[in-house]
Amino acid sequence: MAFKGLSRRQFAGITGWSLLGISALPARSSQAQAAASSSFPGGFLWGTATSSYQIEGAVNEDGRGPSIWDRFAHTRGTISDHSNADTATDHYHLYKGDVQLMKALGAKAYRFSVAWPRVFPQGTGTPNPKSLDFYNRLLDELSANGIEPFATLYHWDLPQALQDRFGGWTSRDTSKAFADYAAYVAARLSDRVNHFFTINECSRHVHLGYGFGADAPGLKLSQSGLNQVRHNVALGHGLAVQAVRAHGRAGTRVGPAENAVSCIPAIETPANIRAAEIATRELNAGYLTVMLEGKYTDAYLAQAGSDAPKYTTEDLRIISSPIDFLGLSVYTPDHYVIAADNERGFTLAPFPKSFPHMKAAWLRPGPEAIYWVPRHVAKLWNVKSIYITENGTSGSDQPAPDGTVYDVDRIMYLRNYLTQLQRATSEGVPVLGYFLWSLMDNFEWSDGYEQRFGLYRVDFDTKRRTPKLSASFYRETIARNAVA
Ligand code: PNW
């Protein structure tokens, strides 16, 4: 009875999934779903994304040192379900199966992050003898399965030792330590990793970690302190770009993975579009704009006033070291922009209470964000290569009585975002690939395990992975494009 209403083909797809793709769906099976994705450019790269602390577990194994997230998650009252990521999805031990999950999707790329505390347990100094062993095993497995690795150097799991010694990113000593670590990793992995991302989403970990205290290290700094952290993080990015260039093998590519403040023209008129470009440049002044222009905007400095960060012109030169591509994580529209005859040239429409959201309250669906963000950055800064480093949604994801997670909300979200992404590529916006967040459910920071973002459901007691219906959707999308 549970499958009433499903076509035989859909049913076969679902049951096939429980055997992890053993029954292959023909690429042309469903005309209706994913129709929009049929005309992505040839060679467009489809992948999934994860990060070390959110999936690995094994926090005390093979010489890993503690990270600020271990400390934070073990502090009372920080994580909504009182959980931590001591074991998380246990990817550290289950990675071989997880590579098969990627392969079953037909994904050809995987974005993961390297845990700094596994490499340098004290943050600097002597590397752990087993420093990169796990990542070497993972890379071998990916390579054996035809999946291209994209490695993020920092996805927020700072060695706790650097927090204790330097105050974390409040000090530029951390920026320098990051460059040394980046050099070490690039020297050893760039024979197999062609693309490195420096820092994942500067804005989020600075804002929540050092401003609101809602993420590790849980600080609530003054505006001047926060501006300095922002600058030190941008500096860390630039130093890491230089380190990867100096120590990676020739041809190694490097760039940031930023979640830009997304500015959408409220109505797509030329004036609003221009206003949204101006807003994009101003509202990303602390990260993307300084990285790509080598200076803080006048408005940013004027607004900061005496709280502006302390820096040298040499810092700005480092921060704006040339990058090979821009990584953009796009989840949600941050602002709907309207042209205005004021000093800034724009106003931001307030969000009405009735604006819908996905399971996470911050995640308002606005598929056009994934069209406008790449389009704005390509236009503003003449960026030639863009990867969508993350896009996806959480959902309640409860299995139905038949055991299947019918996450049609996630499918709705993805279908609409991919339609808008295809709009961008069809207009020549140079997006080269897309990494869906996330391969599987994982530790969602201060939301613990209460927000599930995966294509695969993880039972956190047994660590069992089960494909959700959205895994079939993504697989079909990829297959359709492969034959297009
Ligand atoms: C990203 N926002 O965080 C992170 O890179 C991931 O580690 C995380 O699991 C994922 O997105 C889902 O949250 C973001 O408020 C969190 O716009 C919030 C926002 C953006 C990114």
Catalytic annotation, pick one of 201, 258, 444, 476:
201
Residues flanking ligand 1, CB < 6 Å: 51, 54, 200-201, 204, 259, 329, 331-332, 362, 390, 437, 444, 453
Q: Where are the alpha helices (DSSP H) in 390-483?
A: 408-426, 469-483
> Which atom of ligand 1 approaches the CA of 360 most closely?
13
User: 337-374: buried (b, 16+ CB within 10 Å) or exposed (e) per residue?
Assistant: bbbeeeeebbbbeeeeeeeeebbbeebbbbbbbbbbbb
Q: Which of 52, 11, 49 is nearest to 29 (CA)?
A: 11
Q: Is 427 a catalytic residue?
A: no
What six digits make up the tokens of 314?
């040499």
Question: d(Cα 431, Cα 113) in Å, to the nearest integer?
Answer: 21
Beta-ladder partners of 434: 46, 388
Amino acid sitting at position 99: V
List the one residue out of 241, 258, 284, 298 whose CA is nearest residue 380: 284
Interacting residues of 270 by C-beta distance below 8 A, sequence separation 6+: none
Burial class (CB in 10 A: 0-12, 13-18, 19+), 93: middle
Which residue has a Cα nearest atom 15 of ligand 1?
362
pLDDT at 246: 98
How much is the CA Rg of the chain, to the nearest whole Å?
22
Whole-number Å distance between alpha carbons of 447 and 266: 31
Given 56, 141, 390, 444, which residue is catalytic? 390
Distance 435 CA to ligand 1 centre (A): 13
CA-nearest residue for atom 2, ligand 1, is 362
Pocket test for ligand 1, best of 201, 261, 447 (most atoms within 8 A of CB): 201
Q: Could you write out the DSSP letters of every residue in 24-61?
A: PPPTTS-SSTTGGGGGSPTT-EEEEE--HHHH---TTS
Query: What confidence score (pLDDT) does residue 483 get?
Result: 64
Q: At what angle do helices 469-483 and 91-105 cross, to 10 degrees?
A: 50
For residue 201, indicate whether it is catalytic: yes
Q: How many residues appear in the chain?
A: 484
CA of 144 to the centre of ligand 1 (A): 30
CA of 257, closest atom in ligand 1:
5
Q: For 457-460, which contacts have Cβ atoms below 8 Å and span 24 or more sequence positions?
A: 457/397, 457/399, 457/405, 458/89, 460/89
Ligand 1: which residue has its CA nearest to atom 8? Answer: 444
Q: Ligand 1, from 329, 388, 389, 413: best to mutate by most atoms within 8 Å of Cβ?
A: 329
Q: Ligand 1 pocket test: pick from 197, 202, 204 the residue with the most ligand atoms within 8 Å of its Cβ.
A: 204
Ligand 1 centre distance from Cα of residue 313 (Å): 32
* Cα(362) to centroid(ligand 1), Å: 10
pLDDT at 39: 86
- pLDDT tens for the chain, 484 residues long, are 333 333 434 433 433 444 333 333 434 444 434 444 458 999 999 999 999 999 999 999 999 999 999 999 999 999 999 999 999 999 999 999 999 999 999 999 999 999 999 999 999 999 999 999 999 999 999 999 999 999 999 999 999 999 999 999 999 999 999 999 999 999 999 999 999 999 999 999 999 999 999 999 999 999 999 999 999 999 999 999 999 999 999 999 999 999 999 999 999 999 999 999 999 999 999 999 999 999 999 999 999 999 999 999 999 999 999 999 999 999 999 999 999 999 999 999 999 999 999 999 999 999 999 999 999 999 999 999 999 999 999 999 999 999 999 999 999 999 999 999 999 999 999 999 999 999 999 999 999 999 999 999 999 999 999 999 999 999 999 999 986 5
pTM of the model: 0.93
Q: What is the DSSP letter of 249?
A: P
Which atom from ligand 1 is nearest to the alpha carbon of 156? 7
What is the SS3 assignment for 88?
coil
CA of 172 to the centre of ligand 1 (A): 25
Q: 201 C-alpha vs ligand 1 centroid, how far in Å? A: 8
**Distance in Å, CA 49 to ligand 1 centroid:** 12
